[in-house]
Structure 1
């Protein structure tokens, strides 16, 4: 009679059936992240953000937790424009139990499982969820602060909510029209800076994307400092 497998070996056997190849991970995540590619997954591993197991022949295998971790990282990149080094530091704190996973925007957490909930709103839903009037949303569209086409995502919700608050101080969307032009100029500057990296083979695209986010973060830091200086001058 053969010996029965131990609970650990049974658990290991069951977990092996849930491990996914890179191709299977892409099949799960590319509907949410169309630009995801094998090179991006390898880059995330190289940066220490995910640690898939390896088969004896060296193939990467991702658990369900690995997939959710990748989804969480990609969501923070896409929806919150966080550089990978910032996300890595945050994940290290989460793993150590020092902080909770982000719950802002599209990222929510329930215990060890990190899930994402998409918000795709029609114009009327955007208005009702933010307390904005139809006129305010129309003016925001005219000022190129939110897109004209439905559906609207979490970023549009954040912008419109901010506009509702600014309206209390007499600041209207038309007063912020120059912000889109400024953002476009910054985007052109960033694109020029990362273009040499984009031309490289292999890891060029994910490295360029990470460099772009890093540059955007540094520009945002400068903008924040300048804004604080302006406020201090006003309130002296």
Structure 2
């Protein structure tokens, strides 16, 4: 796969990336991919970026902008997760081979594991994340993962993160407040885009989804700045 498009060298050019190069927003990416991947969310797209699997460009104000190549790369990543239940470290190696011109081979050859499945069983979820059953039970109890007999793909992302946090002494019960905070943020976002979302035409609904994703990104940046400032404060 060819290299990512070069980043702009000037603030003005960066601000106009979408108009000049045809790059699209995170909301537009969701609109393109959600038909094939209904569990996809802007938080999952951001997580895949944080893991270094895709590298969208940024405007001067910090908004992500995705190229057509980025979208197809995301489609491949999501397909490998959904159809083959590959962990991210295996997908990262697969993409690295592609980027280096090597024909990648899936573990076990080309045979799919549960071809086309979109939900994870409890056993598959635990196996894919390396989490103990007790951690999954605690995550469900804390409201971090919905209870059920099967799980959406985001549950694997959440549980993998909880495995890492638990190794540092942070348990699901410590994160109960996150769920309540997210619900408050969703309420703010829904109120902000309600007039657009209520319109009957598809273009307005797509714009509402795009604006919702952009507001979510704004919340993420506010949260990140506040957290960094708090961590940098001198301690007595």
**What is the TM-score when the length of structure 2 is the normalising length?**
0.56
Match of 2:40? 78
Q: Which runs of 4+ in 1 moved over 4 A?
A: 72-77, 81-88, 107-111, 116-119
- Residue 140 of structure 1 pairs with residue 102 of structure 2: no
Match of 2:65? 89
Cα pair 2:33 2:75 within 8 Å, conserved:
no
Q: Distance in 2 between matches of 1:204 and 1:173?
A: 38
1:221 and 1:105, CA in 2 relative to 1: closer, same or farther beyond 3 A?
farther
Q: Distance in 1 between matches of 2:127 and 2:39?
A: 28
1:77 and 1:207, CA in 2 relative to 1: closer, same or farther beyond 3 A?
farther
Aligned partner (choices 78, 96, 112) of residue 106 of structure 1: 78
Report the 3-state secondary structure (helix = DSSP H, G, I; strand = E; otherwise coil) of the residue aligned with 1:101. helix
Q: Distance in 2 between matches of 1:77 and 1:174?
A: 25
Shift of 1:104: 8.5
Shift of 1:75: 4.8
Shift of 1:80: 3.8
1:193 and 1:228, CA in 2 relative to 1: closer, same or farther beyond 3 A?
same
Stretches of structure 1 lacking an aligned partner (at least 5 in a row): 1-47, 51-68
Match of 1:169? 168
Shift of 1:231: 2.4
Cα pair 1:72 1:107 within 8 Å, conserved:
no
Shift of 1:165: 1.0
Cα pair 1:139 1:174 within 8 Å, conserved:
yes
Shift of 1:224: 1.3
Shift of 1:130: 1.1
Indicate the structure whose relative CO is greater, using CA pairs within 8 Å and at least 6 residues apart.
Answer: 2
Please give the per-residue CA displacement for 1:59-109, whole angstroms capped at 9, x wherever unaligned: xxxxxxxxxx944897599344459997983215x38xxx98248962559
**What is the TM-score when the length of structure 1 is the normalising length?**
0.56
- Determine which structure has more spread, i.e. the larger CA radius of gyration: 1
Match of 1:232? 232
How many residue pairs get matched?
Answer: 164
